[in-house]
Amino acid sequence: MNPVKAPTRLVDLSLPVEVGTNPVYEGRPWLAYHPVASHADGVFESNCVEMFLHAGSHVDAPYHFDPDGKKIGQMPLETFVGEAVVLDLTDAQSDECMGADRLAQAYETATGGEPNDAKIALLCTGWAARVVPPAKEWWGSGPYLDAGAAHWLVEQGFVAVGFDFPQDKTTKDIDRLSALKAGEVKLSEMEDPPLPVHVVLLSNGIAQIENIAGLEELPATGATIVAAPILLAEAEGAPARVFAMVP
């Protein structure tokens, strides 16, 4: 006799990507459709798409910030599918910097102090319910982590970390970010680089699951996360439909 399986609830954690301009790189699209054929012409509907790889819900591969890191096509599926632990940070305020102690306390609460084998951490602030990218407020006003918090995530042995908020604070680093984009300085040459969470996690081979929402609907432990990106073999990141399977 086959054992009775418990019903599973699916929770969509993805944010939709709408047609529009890129708020980070001016003059580039966030998403644009280029029709190839259409019903209006009496044939089928077919489009080419021009899209920023970091628009909407997506995965950052280590290569995004680490020239020696793995690209999307080199990452095992086990990185993107697995049991998650949800850290409740919903009391985070706009523009608040959160450190390692804050994450450690949330982890203790989530696990009840018991051993936990979850390899994916989901950091829930509820920010995605207040502001949705590509609104500039998403990056300019959201809570964020410091480098110490990033190192704490590395120390826990997670293979991927998901965020419903902009994990790094960028507004204070505009000048240095501009210098990086212009090629005036290399990231590896900076002792205190901008976007330290990206630098620390990705340089340690940890995938980032970014721009997700609805984490408030998940239990602290027990949910299985699927965040598999499109297999763009040579890419530094790729769009993903992120969802949770909740027993």
What structural domains does the chain harbor?
A: 9-14+56-246 (3.50.30.50)
Does the structure show a pLDDT above 80 at 172? no
Please give the share of the chain, as a percent, with pLDDT higher than 90. Answer: 76
Parallel, antiparallel, or unpaired: how do β-strands 81-88 and 120-124 relate? Answer: parallel
| Average pLDDT taken over every residue of the chain | 91
Q: What is the pLDDT of residue 186?
A: 75
Q: 83 pLDDT exceeds 90?
A: yes
Q: What is the pLDDT of residue 192?
A: 72
Distance CA 76, CA 156 (A): 20
Is the confidence at residue 242, as pLDDT, over 90? yes
The whole-number pLDDT of residue 173 equals 63
DSSP 199-237: HHHHHTT-EEEESB--GGGS-SEEEEEE-PBP--TT-SE
Distance CA 145, CA 162 (A): 13
Q: What burial class does residue 134 get, using C-beta atoms within 10 Å of its C-beta: 0-12 exposed, 13-18 middle, 19+ buried?
A: buried
What value does the CA radius of gyration of the chain take, rounded to a whole number of Å? 19
Give SS3 for 161: strand
Tell me the two tokens of residue 108: 């203790």
For 52, residues 6+ apart whose C-beta sits below 8 A from its C-beta are: 22, 24, 25, 28, 29, 30, 31
CA geometry: angle 123, 50, 62, nearest 5 deg: 40
Q: For 189-207, what is the mean pLDDT? A: 87
Q: Are 88 and 125 in contact (CB under 8 A)?
A: no
Q: Does the pLDDT of residue 38 top 90, yes or no?
A: yes
